[in-house]
Amino acid sequence: MIDFRSDTFTKPTPAMLAAMSAAPVGDDVFGEDPTVNLLEANLAAYFGMEAALFCPSGTMSNQIAIKVHTLPGDEVICSDLAHVYIYEGGGIAFNAGAQARPLHGDRGMIRAAQVEAAINDIDDDHKARTSLVCLENTSNRGGGCCYDWQEILHIREVCSTHGLQLHLDGARLFNALVATGQDPKQYGEVFDSISVCFNKGMGCPMGSVLLGSKTFIREARRVRKKLGGGLRQVGYMAACLQYALDHNVKRLKIDHEHAKIIATALIENDYVGKMMPVETNILIFEVKGIAPKRFAELLKRQDILVSVVSPTQVRIVTHMDITAEMVQRTCHAILNMENHP
């Protein structure tokens, strides 16, 4: 099977497994796992932030950040396509007792002027207190698009003017960094907190890291414990993340190239309609003439798996476990697709 359903399907390589089994470990709830401590220090340095916290999943690191940055009844501004809003089980309400203020942007990217207009008047008792803005880069439902850096700086300005915190859901921030060539420290300077994922496209079975100031991470650690996310000898997993950081970030550009190659084949397919610009490792396109489910079925006959993400759209995600040869086979299948029963 050639699995394009998600970049979450990647598996550890033998070298990763070797790094994991060689890791020195301790009880991380006691702060005594040297491999976890090293990973956290390395990532904090990588983004130029004060501190970091290993978390089991990206959902947990986002939810912890939202909980720490808000009080119950507060409002969180995000895009109407944001993972924190549509794919975290209503966690903003469940975990933080806060509510979302979803804004309609361009492919999941919102603008500074929209953010400013959505901030509630602090003196109006009718209104929820706006306390946090969450951005997502790359934007998953936006077809892996990268935020315009200038716009992020404008949003930062708005947040600073109005005393709001700014969190980045950077589940695929490494993809954005590779695609734009930006310095990760720029992100550390601008955001109050950042969550990055290693279970996307880089071979790790689990793991996300939350970054922020020392006081923020101190609170985040408490919340992680409350959510049951305090783990013991998790250095085995931290070693896998460290390996991915050292070896699997730069190669993301191969996934981006693979996505562009597949896009050129898709454009030639009669059933493919409007496609979102392909900037990183995600392709989202409309299917016309047949149902997206049927389109996926026709590819499945050729041992190619894709996902149907809306009643009109199909998504293809490239990742570490997709080889150049698989991309060629996929292009061939797309160019020679036959719709017979």
Ligand X SMILES: *Cc1c(COP(=O)(O)O)cnc(C)c1O
Contact predicate 306/334, CB 8 Å: no
**Whose Cβ is closer to ligand X: residue 58's or residue 331's?**
58
Residue 297 C-beta: closest distance to ligand X, Å: 25
199 binds ligand X (CB under 6 A): yes
Residue choice 74, 169, 192, 255 for contact with ligand X (CB under 6 A): 169
The CB density around residue 91, as the number of other CB atoms within 10 Å, is 20
197 binds ligand X (CB under 6 A): yes
Site string for ligand X, 96-115 (x = CB under 6 A): --------------------
Residue 169 C-beta: closest distance to ligand X, Å: 5
193 binds ligand X (CB under 6 A): no
Residue choice 10, 35, 59, 281 for contact with ligand X (CB under 6 A): 59
Residue choice 63, 175, 208, 318 for contact with ligand X (CB under 6 A): 208
57 binds ligand X (CB under 6 A): yes
Check whether the bond before 264 is cis (ω within 30° of 0).
Answer: no
298 binds ligand X (CB under 6 A): no
63 binds ligand X (CB under 6 A): no
Q: Tell me which stretch binds ligand X (CB under 6 A): 146-154, 194-202, 261-269, 323-331.
A: 194-202
**Whose Cβ is closer to ligand X: residue 248's or residue 272's?**
248
Residue 209 C-beta: closest distance to ligand X, Å: 11
| Residue of minimal Cβ distance to ligand X | 58
Contact predicate 209/55, CB 8 Å: yes
**Whose Cβ is closer to ligand X: residue 200's or residue 224's?**
200
The CB density around residue 121, as the number of other CB atoms within 10 Å, is 9
Contact predicate 330/269, CB 8 Å: no
Q: How far apart are CA 192 and CA 170, in angstroms?
A: 13
DSSP 192: S
The CB density around residue 338, as the number of other CB atoms within 10 Å, is 6
**Whose Cβ is closer to ligand X: residue 196's or residue 272's?**
196
58 binds ligand X (CB under 6 A): yes
Q: If binding means CB under 6 A, how many residues of this protein chain bind ligand X?
A: 13
User: Contacts with ligand X in 128-147 (CB under 6 A)?
Assistant: 136, 140
Residue 167 C-beta: closest distance to ligand X, Å: 11
What angle, rounded to 10 degrees, do the helices at 252-267 and 173-180 form? 80
CA dist list (Å): 26 to 37, 227, 278: 10, 21, 43
Sign of CA dihedral 58, 59, 60, 64: positive
Helix (H) or strand (E) holding 250: none
Q: How far apart are CA 154 and CA 27, in angstroms?
A: 42
Matching residue, tokens 């003439």 = 289
68 Cβ partners below 8 Å, 6+ apart?
193, 216, 219, 220, 223
Q: Tell me which stretch binds ligand X (CB under 6 A): 13-21, 36-44, 193-201, 228-236.
A: 193-201
Residues that bind ligand X (CB under 6 A): 57-59, 62, 83, 136, 140, 169, 171, 197, 199-200, 208
